Amino acid sequence: MDAIHIRGGVALHGNVLIQGSKNAALPVLAATLLAKETSIIRNCPRIADVYRMINLLDSLGCNVSWEDGGIRVDAGNVCEGEMPAEAITGMRSSLCLLGAMLGRCGEIVMEHPGGCVIGERPIDIHIAALGKMGVEFKEEGGRLYARASGLHGADLTLPFASVGATENILLAAVMAEGDTVVFGAAKEPEVTALCDFLKCCGASIEGAGSDVLTIHGRVPLHGGDFKIPADRIVAGTYLFGCAATGGCVLLEEAPIGQMEAAIHLAGQMGSKCEPVSEGLYIQSPKRAALPALVRTEPYPGFPTDLQSMALAAMTVGEGECVIEETIFENRFRVVPPLRDMGADIEELDTRKVRVKGVERLAGRSVEAMELRGGAALVLAGLAAQGQTLVTGCSYIFRGYENICRDLRELGARITSG
């Protein structure tokens, strides 16, 4: 089942319920390691990355099971175990086990997470910050050895608002001696969700959602019962799906408060977006209008994770737009397959493209190279005339619980198999 089949040319219509957030669920699952008790994490998406994280927790001695719509994690007997290498190298978010295991056991050995197709993804900010908290690092044979004989708080200033580094600092700092203050912290809603979970376990944290976080260490933690918020990137994907096909949809439980930049852009493209009690109601014109410029930025700016889907929607709009990618150095890999479908996209440099809207795209066989680029190709297939085959869609299943089911609920002619 590594292909998605789409017969395009249909405007999306109907309601769809937005799944739980991948990028909130993964660090929260890692954080369950910090309390020697059982936690229940509700509304976790049933996606490949969550199953991988469960395997990793299992390999560290946790007892993990899906129960009553949640994941129950008993972290009573955590031990410094051998984590399956491919589960680490294959999933960047395994990196948040670094902060969690340093907090719980004071040490960890793991494969170096390495980069991925969207960029080099160094971990220098993680290492520099945790180093100031008393962690010693050694890299040998592709492995990362980290040990903290006395984890302590520190005043940290991040050179860039890295989401992952902020999360790792949080996970270590709640177990450290003394206070940690982070200046220039990431403000992403997924970081706030991690703070909320840690607080529901008894942690003392101030400034969640701001760029200054204060963590009071060594407050005893207990197990927590926590609901993962809805996924703003999945909701944004269906928002741009509506804009690409000129539809009218209701995104149930869409986290509207976290989607300001995406809703603003959809508005510039002519879509009417209205908050209603069930979620976000969107009405899009037959053809979107293209704004002059879109630039990705850390939250609350326009998210890099929606850049590919916005680009796909713009390929069939009216006018032209320059899209600048400021977060990752290699996030336009979707351009060649979109061009194969008839899109008019010019690469100005490795981080900037100009898209000129065309009347229509033509369906054809294209290959997903990564998660969000894959979702963008599905949107292009919805907008295209004829049949599109998206292969390599195991990337898509890493972040979308069931994109075909969701889009069928919105009237799309889409199947996987």
Size of the site for ligand EPZ (CB under 6 A): 24
Site for ligand EPZ in 312-351 (CB under 6 A): 327-328
- Quick one: which of 30, 75, 163, 280 contacts ligand EPZ (CB under 6 A)? 163
Under the criterion CB under 6 A, does residue 61 sit at the interface with ligand EPZ? no
C-alpha pair distances (Å), 281 with each of 35, 214, 253, 277: 40, 37, 11, 10
CA distance 155 to 263: 36
Under the criterion CB under 6 A, does residue 93 sit at the interface with ligand EPZ? yes
Under the criterion CB under 6 A, does residue 372 sit at the interface with ligand EPZ? yes
For residues 192 and 284, which CB has a smaller minimum distance to ligand EPZ in the complex? 192
CA torsion sign for 48, 234, 116, 120 is negative
Under the criterion CB under 6 A, does residue 180 sit at the interface with ligand EPZ? no
Contact 27, 97 (CB under 8 A): no
The pair of three-digit structure tokens given for residue 241, joined into one six-digit string: 């799906």
CA distance 131 to 84: 25
For residues 261 and 280, which CB has a smaller minimum distance to ligand EPZ in the complex? 261
Under the criterion CB under 6 A, does residue 240 sit at the interface with ligand EPZ? no
Q: Which amino acid is at 409?
A: E
Under the criterion CB under 6 A, does residue 296 sit at the interface with ligand EPZ? no
CA distance 383 to 36: 50
For residues 316 and 327, which CB has a smaller minimum distance to ligand EPZ in the complex? 327
Contact 106, 135 (CB under 8 A): no
**393 an active-site residue?**
no
Under the criterion CB under 6 A, does residue 304 sit at the interface with ligand EPZ? yes
Segment near ligand EPZ (CB under 6 A); pick from 159-167, 219-227, 241-249, 257-265: 159-167
> Which residue of this chain has its Cβ atom nearest to ligand EPZ in the complex?
164
Backbone angles phi, psi at 285, to 5 degrees: -70, 165
Site for ligand EPZ in 97-116 (CB under 6 A): none
The pair of three-digit structure tokens given for residue 180, joined into one six-digit string: 């940690």
- CA angle, residues 119, 49, 337, in degrees to nearest 5: 50
For residues 194 and 380, which CB has a smaller minimum distance to ligand EPZ in the complex? 194
- 383 SS3 class: helix
Contact 158, 183 (CB under 8 A): yes
Segment near ligand EPZ (CB under 6 A); pick from 161-169, 251-259, 265-273, 340-348: 161-169
Q: Hey, which residues are catalytic here? A: 116
- For binding to ligand EPZ (CB under 6 A), which residues are involved? 23, 26, 92-93, 119, 121-126, 160, 162-165, 190, 304-305, 327-328, 371-372, 399
